[in-house]
């Protein structure tokens, strides 16, 4: 098992996958990193975000509860996330933390890892919550 990670020129993760990597084509400025001994599920489990709701009322009262998790060992005490580009630190216990999300203005709220050079935002690494009127 080997993971191949393609990073953009700014070193944020573009994509990742397992296999032999022989058919991966890099664009100018991209970098290929290899993680031997790591499978895809383990790699993407380094940062996951989930929510009990995909829509909330933009009334400042309706709340979505987000679960942020990491399988990194040892688990960090906290992890930084971006909520529509604004940094928030989430405290973790055994690799799991909770973030409550409220909105007063309608629109999509994007939650993703702040450190996208370490954690993949694709797939379960990001979520959009719709705040509706």
Digitized pLDDT (tens) for each residue of the chain, 133 residues in all: 788 899 999 999 998 888 777 778 899 999 998 888 888 888 889 999 999 999 999 999 999 999 999 999 999 999 999 999 999 999 999 999 999 999 999 999 999 999 999 999 988 999 999 999 9
Verify that 111 and 50 share a domain, yes or no.
yes
Verify that 36 and 54 share a domain, yes or no.
no
Cα 73 to Cα 46: distance, rounded to the nearest angstrom: 9
Strand order in the sheet with 64-69: 48-51, 64-69, 96-101
Verify that 16 and 79 share a domain, yes or no.
no
Verify that 106 and 68 share a domain, yes or no.
yes
Burial class, 66, CB count within 10 angstroms (exposed 0-12 / middle 13-18 / buried 19+) = buried
Cα 42 to Cα 24: distance, rounded to the nearest angstrom: 20
Verify that 85 and 57 share a domain, yes or no.
yes
CATH number, domain with residue 50 = 2.60.40.10
> What domain range is 125 assigned to?
45-132
Give pTM, 2 decimals: 0.86
Verify that 11 and 68 share a domain, yes or no.
no
Cα 30 to Cα 7: distance, rounded to the nearest angstrom: 6
Cα 16 to Cα 124: distance, rounded to the nearest angstrom: 13
Verify that 73 and 115 share a domain, yes or no.
yes
Verify that 53 and 21 share a domain, yes or no.
no
Verify that 37 and 84 share a domain, yes or no.
no
Q: How many domains does the chain have?
A: 2
Exposure of 61 in the CB half-sphere (CA atoms within 13 A): 2
**In 3D, which of 72, 78, 81 has the Cα closest to residue 101?**
81
Verify that 31 and 71 share a domain, yes or no.
no
Contact between residue 71 and residue 40 where contact means Cβ atoms under 8 Å apart: no
Verify that 29 and 51 share a domain, yes or no.
no
């Amino acid at each position: 098992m080997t993971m191949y990670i393609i990073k953009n020129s700014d070193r944020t993760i573009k994509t990742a996958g397992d296999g032999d990597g022989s058919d991966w084509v890099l664009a100018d400025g991209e970098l290929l990193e290899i993680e031997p001994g790591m499978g895809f599920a383990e790699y993407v489990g380094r940062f996951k975000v989930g929510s009990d709701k995909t829509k909330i009322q933009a009334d400042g009262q309706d709340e979505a509860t987000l679960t942020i998790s990491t399988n990194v060992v040892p688990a960090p005490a906290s992890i930084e996330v971006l909520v529509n580009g604004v940094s928030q630190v989430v405290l973790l216990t055994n690799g799991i933390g909770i973030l409550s999300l409220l909105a007063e203005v309608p629109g999509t709220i994007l939650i993703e890892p702040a450190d996208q050079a370490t954690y993949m935002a694709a797939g379960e690494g990001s979520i959009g919550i719709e705040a509706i009127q």
